[in-house]
């Protein structure tokens, strides 16, 4: 039993996020079932713009993975309030300084990567002519803009203190990312075949 306890503690500490993910997943699957019966599957368009748009969608996905890899790295390295609870017996790994360097690179570039990500995803949506009556898409659009706006508030020098605190709370977490990932996945299932 002794060997199991760190895992148990870890699962317990991320229980909230697992339950949240399960709820978003189930709600999305239910809506997917509804949308699948109501909206006809759209034929894939092969225009010049949509070909570029497709490439941008792929780039956007990689950019998001890059951004959230930083968040994961922070957790694994014991930074941030969640980390201690996620990894109860955490001690710095031998290669910590290498990770530290990588992390500080990711920290320094996040604002630029973040702005590029928002721009890439907005262009992708504009170029593909995405059907906004399928609610997954306006939701992803709103969430990406949400991340961008609060990211800007976090960075802007003249943001009032209270707004900065709020911006950190709603910007620097996984919850939005989980929604973006799940909604975009189900949305693409509805238009991809
Ligand atoms: C889709 C776009 C974006 C996503 C998914 C995203 C995600 C995140 C996440 C998860 C964090 C928590 C810190 C961490 O990863 O450990 C964070 C922090 C932060 N983000 Fe973003 N972000 C985006 C765009 C932006 C933009 C456009 C800006 C600024 C113009 C920005 C500025 C910041 C700042 C200042 C922090 C806090 C400081 C830090 O931890 O380094 N982000 N972001």
The pLDDT tens digits of the residues spanning 17-63 come to 899 999 999 999 999 999 999 988 766 677 888 889 999 999 999 99
Instruction: Quote the pTM value.
Output: 0.85
Domain residues for the domain of 156 are: 2-191
Q: CB under 8 Å, gap of 24 or more: what pairs does 102-109 form?
A: 102/73, 103/70, 103/73, 103/74, 103/77, 103/79, 106/69, 106/70, 106/73, 107/70
pLDDT at 80: 60
Q: Does 124 contact ligand 1 (Cβ within 6 A)?
A: no
Query: Ligand 1 center to residue 151 CA distance, Å?
Result: 6
Q: What is the mean pLDDT of residues 90-97?
A: 60
The dihedral region occupied by 134, where left means phi > 0, alpha psi between -120 and 50, and beta the remainder, is beta
Residue 93 has pLDDT above 90, yes or no: no
Query: Ligand 1 center to residue 41 CA distance, Å?
Result: 35
Q: Does 167 contact ligand 1 (Cβ within 6 A)?
A: no
CB neighbours (10 Å) of residue 11?
10
Query: Ligand 1 center to residue 55 CA distance, Å?
Result: 23
Q: What is the mean pLDDT of residues 178-187?
A: 96
Ligand 1 pocket test, candidate residues 66, 99, 114, most atoms within 8 A of CB: 114
How far apart, in whole angstroms, are the C-alpha atoms of residue 16 and residue 18?
A: 5
pLDDT at 91: 59
Mean pLDDT over the full length of the chain: 86
> What's the domain count of the chain?
1
Residue 104 has pLDDT above 80, yes or no: yes
Residue 85 has pLDDT above 70, yes or no: no
């Amino acid at each position: 039993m002794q060997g199991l306890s760190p895992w148990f503690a870890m699962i317990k500490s991320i229980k909230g996020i697992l339950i949240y993910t399960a709820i978003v997943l189930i709600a999305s699957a239910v809506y997917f079932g509804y949308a699948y019966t109501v909206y006809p599957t759209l034929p894939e368009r092969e225009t010049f713009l949509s070909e570029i748009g497709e490439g941008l969608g792929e780039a956007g996905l990689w950019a998001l993975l890059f951004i959230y890899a930083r968040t994961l790295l922070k957790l694994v390295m014991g930074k941030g309030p969640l980390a201690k609870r996620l990894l109860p017996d955490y001690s710095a790994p031998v290669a910590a300084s290498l990770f530290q360097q990588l992390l500080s690179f990711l920290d320094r570039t996040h604002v630029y990567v973040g702005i590029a990500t928002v721009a890439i995803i907005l262009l992708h949506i504009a170029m593909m002519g995405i059907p906004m009556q399928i609610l997954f898409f306006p939701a992803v659009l709103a969430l990406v803009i949400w991340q961008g706006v609060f990211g800007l508030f976090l960075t802007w020098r003249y943001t009032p203190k209270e707004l900065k605190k709020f911006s950190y709370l709603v910007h620097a977490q996984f919850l939005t990312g989980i929604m973006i990932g799940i909604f975009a996945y189900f949305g693409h299932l509805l238009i991809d075949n």
